Amino acid sequence: MTPRNESERWHERAQSSIPGGVSSPVRAFSAVGGTPMYMKSGAGSRVTDIDGNSYVDFIGSWGPMIMGHAHPEVVHRVTEVAADSSSFGAPHQHEVLLAEEIIRRVAPVERVRFVSSGTEAVMTALRLARAATGRNLIVKFAGCYHGHMDSLLVQAGSGVATLAMANSPGVPPGHVEDTIVVPYNDPVALRHVFDEHSDRIAAVITESSAANMGVVPPTTEFADALFHLAGKHGALVILDEVMTGFRVSSAGWWGLVDGPAGRVPDLLTFGKVIGGGFPLAAVGGRKDVMELLAPTGPVYQAGTLSGNPVASIAGLTTLQLCQRDVYDHLDSYAHQAGEIVSEALTKEGVAHRLQRAGNLFSVFFTADEVHNFDDSKAQDTKAFARFFHSLLDHGVSIPPSAFEAWFVSAAHNQDDLQILSDALVPAARAAAGH
């Protein structure tokens, strides 16, 4: 490792043009201290900063780079499409093919509307749910993140948790008064909310498996109660698969767990993987609800760059590459990586919990199992910060927050695992405070 002088110089410079020098707060090192790396290039599982340091990347742009950085096929198709113009503001074939691919993979999705970010997808899903039911209340779970829209920025997991803000200034009280926050994995609390508000609840929104307070899969009892109560009281279920969609299986968490268990959501939101590294997200679901959208229905929703051709081809190519062999690799790789991390921490006597949701995993610096946001917040974030920096100094880049999942890609290989394994020796010691 060379000193990150150039990154420091640029980060200093960025402070006078961009708040905190970052375009999204999770990229700042607020929770762990220090200066974020300014990135120059990536190839496969590795990224290189402007000081020339190379890292094994377990961030993967927070999910989209499931095939690894600069995958030759993605780069090829993207360049080809961009050469024919990157935007028309008119329909084109790639968005149709992408919509068809999503519908083919995820059975509850009969129609898809493309937008540019997960936040926008969720915003559209809520508007649709309210229009479809004629009701206002939205139930969300503490620690679940659904983007930065006003009404859901209450107890919203990683970003805000990392910055220790319960809510955000600038969100008028009126914007959250139709949001009910319930503890995650607590079917009894959810039942009480439905008993009390029954016919006023438009939708329950949940991360299909929570992964923005660290990885906290739903218990079967909780998932069953959620779908059952919503169905019984005429509320829609919105499964937010922005992180898990097309990552934890070819049909996301729904394909892995909810589908086989017979749980059917009304609407789903997607992002991250479906843009293949470009700004693209989507809301999908039941035909009758989706066709409430303009122009087939009265619910207004629009976007100048929605379904952008370059983003669509990047997403389509990525999904076409994400076949069985890729998911098998992600599963086994994430399993091995998680085991290696846990073994290293155990060896140094560091209290921790390894939790998984398919091939997403995270390591909590706490002795007890994590079922909800309160459990997650009980972590030793100082131990995490020492662990994080030690890994970074030894060529391994993980999300700079104790509340995030690790992301593996199709390109991660045994050499990367060896680098991780070697880096974990000092990192576990650092976490232990030796």
Ligand X SMILES: *Cc1c(COP(=O)(O)O)cnc(C)c1O
- Does residue number 117 form part of the binding site for ligand X (CB under 6 A)? yes
Per the structure block, which two tokens stand in for 182?
Answer: 């319930």
Q: Using the rule CB under 6 A, give the single segment among 5-13, 101-109, 117-125, 316-324 that binds ligand X.
A: 117-125
212 binds ligand X (CB under 6 A): yes
Q: DSSP letters along 127-148, please?
A: HHHHHHHT--EEEEETT----S
Site for ligand X in 270-309 (CB under 6 A): 271, 281
- For ligand X (CB under 6 A), the number of binding residues is 14
Distances (CA, A) of 115 to 19, 175, 236, 303: 26, 22, 21, 7
Task: Confirm whether 327 is a catalytic residue.
Answer: no
Nearer to ligand X, 66 or 424 (CB): 66
Does residue 314 belong to the site contacting ligand X (CB under 6 A)? no
Give Rg (Cα) of the chain: 21
Which two tokens mark 259?
A: 């589908």
Is residue 113 near ligand X by the rule CB under 6 A?
Answer: no
Does residue 180 belong to the site contacting ligand X (CB under 6 A)? no
**Annotated active-site residue in 186, 272, 327, 416:** 272
Instruction: Find the part of the chain contacting ligand X (CB under 6 A) among 101-109, 145-153, 178-186, 314-322.
Output: 145-153
Instruction: Tell me the CB-side half-sphere exposure of residue 184, using CA atoms within 13 A.
Output: 30
Single out the segment in contact with ligand X by CB under 6 A; choices: 46-54, 96-104, 113-121, 255-263. Answer: 113-121
Instruction: Give the integer Cα–Cα distance in Å for 360 and 209.
Output: 10
Cβ closer to ligand X: 152 or 430? 152
What's the maximum distance between 2 C-alpha atoms anywhere in the chain?
63
| 209 near ligand X, rule: CB under 6 A | no
Placement of tokens 């900063």 in the chain: 49
CA atoms within a 13 Å half-sphere pointing along the CA-CB vector of 99: 19
d(CA 299, CA 304): 17
Is residue 187 within the footprint of ligand X (CB under 6 A)?
Answer: no
- Structural element, H or E, at residue 312: helix 309-321
User: Which residue lies nearer to ligand X by CB, 130 or 148?
Assistant: 148
Asked if 407 touches ligand X (CB under 6 A), the answer is: no
d(CA 205, CA 119): 13
Spatial contact of 102 and 282, defined as CB atoms under 8 Å apart = yes
Nearer of residues 36 and 143 to ligand X, judged by Cβ: 143
Please say which residue, 307 or 383, places its beta carbon nearer to ligand X: 307
Lay out the site mask for ligand X across 218-247 (x = CB under 6 A, - = otherwise).
----------------------x-xx----
Q: Which of 135, 146, 394, 412 binds ligand X (CB under 6 A)?
A: 146
Element counts in the chain: helices (H) and strands (E): 15, 13
Spatial contact of 162 and 136, defined as CB atoms under 8 Å apart:
no
CA angle 279, 67, 21 (to 5 degrees): 45
Q: Which stretch binds ligand X (CB under 6 A): 94-102, 142-150, 189-197, 308-316?
A: 142-150
Residues 326-365 within binding reach of ligand X (CB under 6 A):
none
Applying the rule CB under 6 A, the residues between 188 and 207 that interact with ligand X are 207
Distance, CA of 133 to CA of 131 (rounded, Å): 6
Taking the least distance from each CB to ligand X, the nearer of 31 and 424 is 31
C-beta of 211: minimal distance to ligand X in Å? 7
Is residue 32 close enough to count as binding ligand X by CB under 6 A?
Answer: no
Smallest distance, ligand X to C-beta of residue 268, A: 11
End-to-end CA distance of the chain: 22
- Name 399's bridge partners: none
Min dist. Cβ of residue 128 to ligand X (A):
16
Q: Does 118 bind ligand X (CB under 6 A)?
A: yes
Which range touches ligand X (CB under 6 A), out of 118-126, 254-262, 330-338, 358-366? 118-126
Cβ contacts of 119 within 8 Å, gap of 6 or more: 146, 147, 148, 149, 281
Tokens 């409430």 belong to 292
Concerning whether 145 is annotated as a catalytic residue, the answer is yes
283 vs 341, beta carbon nearer ligand X? 283
Is 333 tagged catalytic? no
Task: Give the catalytic positions in this structure.
Answer: 145, 240, 272
Which residues bind to ligand X, rule: CB under 6 A? 117-119, 122, 145-147, 207, 212, 240, 242-243, 271, 281
